[in-house]
Structure 1
Amino acid sequence: MLDDEAIGFSREVAIGEAELAQLPPRSGRTPEQQAAADQVHDRNRRLRVKFLRANVVEIYDRLTAQRTERPRLRELSLAAADAFPGLVPDEKQLTEELQHIQAAKEGREIDQGLFFREVLGNAATGDHLLETMRQPTERAVQLLPAFAESGEVRLDTVHVERRAGAAHLTVHNPDCLNAEDNELIHDMEIAVDLALLDEQVQVGVLRGSAMTHPRYLGKRVFSAGINLSKLHAGQISFVDFLLRRELGYIAKLAHGLFLGDDRPWQRSSAAKPWIAAVDTFAIGGGAQLLLVFDRVIAGADAYFSLPAAQEGIVPGAANLRLSRIAGPRLARQIILRGRKIWAPEPDARLLCDEVVDPRELDAAVEANVAMLSNPAVLANRRMLNFAEEPLAEFRSYMAEFAAEQSMRLYGGDVLDKVGGKWAG
């Protein structure tokens, strides 16, 4: 039955693709031609959603050998493109998209967003995918023996060092103020995996490195959020960045590694408490990160901001977490209005635990490491996270996020910005 439906579906989508092929590339289209392309995409996306909603469990089971295999996001999407032509972009189409700046892309990542909305929206398929994304990466497993022995691993953008039972993760993307891009997300997940896998580590610590940027030369910075220049250049991936960061390393920070479902009486996850040390600022994605940390220490000269409305995109899972942590009024001020919160402000106490002289951050980190090394912290942290963010609630949010964020990437206001002030 599924095969028959898939053949008919692919045939109908192919009609629309043939119409698109007759049009010039997006950057060379007239307004009338772009309107025609939009109509084709609308028609084909209606077909995709209808097919997915009728068959999502069977489709997912086909792609995962009845849920006995665990392809990650990118692999799952490419497998879907092969098994069900027209459902999501194939590798050739994605490679073609990478040749263009964001404003000149066809917008095929929206189809990936629709696919993952349906997969994550179903409890059976969504729970399986969440577990898959919380498994250790192959690269971390390969690096673990060397890290366990030496206590140090240097990735391209993250340095991991074990000191006195704490894994210190230092982000090193200095020329762009530790802004996030595809490469940083990849390295961060490996680094978090190593901290969670190493039995000698009791606590994880995240901090930014010193900058080479002229304005902040020699000064530590926590994070400038998404790299807007790379977004303009079309080098920020929906799947490998925006979706992977939420379902990968940030989910691992919050909920731990998934260790398999063959442990009938033991916990199925490996989790540890985490400390964030904020120097200078935590903007956008950097501020989002703080919402899953157990302790946040900030220098007295630091600030926090989530300029989501100004950027035009959705700030990850901050919309899920910030209202719970800071209250709905403050959450709306920060997300919708772009309010900047300075560490000494009273409202900053809802976003961080301690504010110290910047010169005392090292000492504050060490004191907090000692406090969180208490074995009872793990059990209580697990129960707090279970109560505050049940995985079913997280899965439901991420299903809607997948579609919303993919469409925001190609919203007219976002494309105007990436073609203007973010281009440099």
Structure 2
Amino acid sequence: MGNYSNVLLETSDNIATLTINRPKALNALNKDTLLDIKAAAQEVAEDENSHVLIITGAGEKAFVAGADISFMSKMTPQQAREFALLGQDVFRTIETMGKPVIAAVNGFALGGGCELAMACDFIICSENSKFGQPEVGLGVIPGFGGSQRLPRIVGSNMAKQLLFTGEIIDANEALRIGLVNSVETADQLMEVVTKKVKKIVSNGQISVRYCKEAVNEGMEADIDRSMTLEANSFGLCFATEDQKEGMKAFLEKRKAQFKGK
């Protein structure tokens, strides 16, 4: 895996782990960090040995505490727009990757950090996690997709409350509103995430990818179009060796040995 200045990228047992590694800055996102995240994500996307990506933050305090405000404070309107477009592009790279991406949130996930977590397929967090889009308190709005993904995940009314107030919520409230899938103790977080990810890795990777595509594309389409998307992908599964092996193994009452073909 490539060497990066602001992130760490490791792979083991078909699982890639991308760690945002600026703990002294609470892993805040500046331009260089965003570019590293994109390059690392693209590396994982192209790596045949990496089936799932976990994204987390270095240290015990923060996943990502937000975008780097000292970096943003002197921007012109055009520079700010370009920075927003960069962040959106990086997070769309994660969101549209043909592999599952799981956020393991360990502490603050504020502003850009919350936006990064929401770009992942789902979020598992530690008890000490805090979530929020506090941008209105800085006189701005979310720029990396927060105003668009938050309502899609928690509904428009709750999203508006969080966006308009800028309030920061704890892990249990994040669970209650459906922002995160589960809350774990800090020392068990990565163990729980890894167990979940190993379950994903044990399944047919082509079908997992088709599931991600069906959900992501179907959420943006009307129900009839999205049903057609599902039927098309369901049909394509039957052109794979994995489908034949999966069903054969079921009928023979044994564990399937998928090859991703």
Band the TM-score falls in, shorter-chain normalisation: 0.7 to 0.9
2:157 is the alignment partner of 1:317? no
Counterparts of 1:367 and 1:350 in 2: how far apart (Å)?
21
* Aligned-pair CA distance for 1:174: 1.9
Match of 2:100 among 273, 290, 298: 273
Match of 2:9 among 160, 174, 178: 160
Identity %: 27
For 1:185, the equivalent position in structure 2 comes to 34
What do the CA deviations read for 1:364-389 (whole angstroms, capped 9, x no partner)? 12112112222222111110000124
Residues 361 and 292 of structure 1: CA distance in aligned 2, closer, same or farther (over 3 Å): same
2:122 is the alignment partner of 1:295? yes
SS in 2 for 1:323: helix
For 2:234, the equivalent position in structure 1 comes to none
Match of 1:385 among 216, 229, 233: 216
Counterparts of 2:139 and 2:106 in 1: how far apart (Å)?
26
2:160 is the alignment partner of 1:332? yes
Name the stretch that deviates more: 177-186 or 235-244.
235-244
Instruction: Say which structure is richer in strand.
Output: 2
User: What is the one-letter code of the residue matched to 1:310?
Assistant: G
Residues 243 and 346 of structure 1: CA distance in aligned 2, closer, same or farther (over 3 Å): closer
Match of 1:204 among 45, 53, 63: 53
Counterparts of 1:371 and 1:362 in 2: how far apart (Å)?
14
Whether the aligned pair in 1 keeps the contact of 2:7 and 2:19 (CA below 8 Å) is yes
Structure 2, unaligned stretches of length 5 or more?
A: 222-261
For 1:368, the equivalent position in structure 2 comes to 196
Counterparts of 2:5 and 2:79 in 1: how far apart (Å)?
19
Residues 306 and 364 of structure 1: CA distance in aligned 2, closer, same or farther (over 3 Å): same
Normalised to the residue count of structure 2, the TM-score between the two structures is 0.77
SS in 2 for 1:242: helix
Name the stretch that deviates more: 177-186 or 345-354.
345-354
2:171 is the alignment partner of 1:343? yes
For 1:172, the equivalent position in structure 2 comes to 21
Larger radius of gyration, structure 1 or 2?
Answer: 1
Residues 209 and 286 of structure 1: CA distance in aligned 2, closer, same or farther (over 3 Å): same
What do the CA deviations read for 1:180-226 (whole angstroms, capped 9, x no partner)? 1111111111011111010100000101002xxxxxxxx24101111
SS in 1 for 2:43: helix
User: What is the one-letter code of the residue matched to 2:87?
Assistant: R
RMSD: 1.9
Structure 1, unaligned stretches of length 5 or more?
A: 1-146, 148-152, 211-218, 257-270, 391-424
What do the CA deviations read for 1:106-139 (whole angstroms, capped 9, x no partner)? xxxxxxxxxxxxxxxxxxxxxxxxxxxxxxxxxx
Counterparts of 1:324 and 1:186 in 2: how far apart (Å)?
26
Residues 346 and 320 of structure 1: CA distance in aligned 2, closer, same or farther (over 3 Å): closer
Instruction: Say which structure is richer in helix.
Output: 1
How many pairs align?
Answer: 216
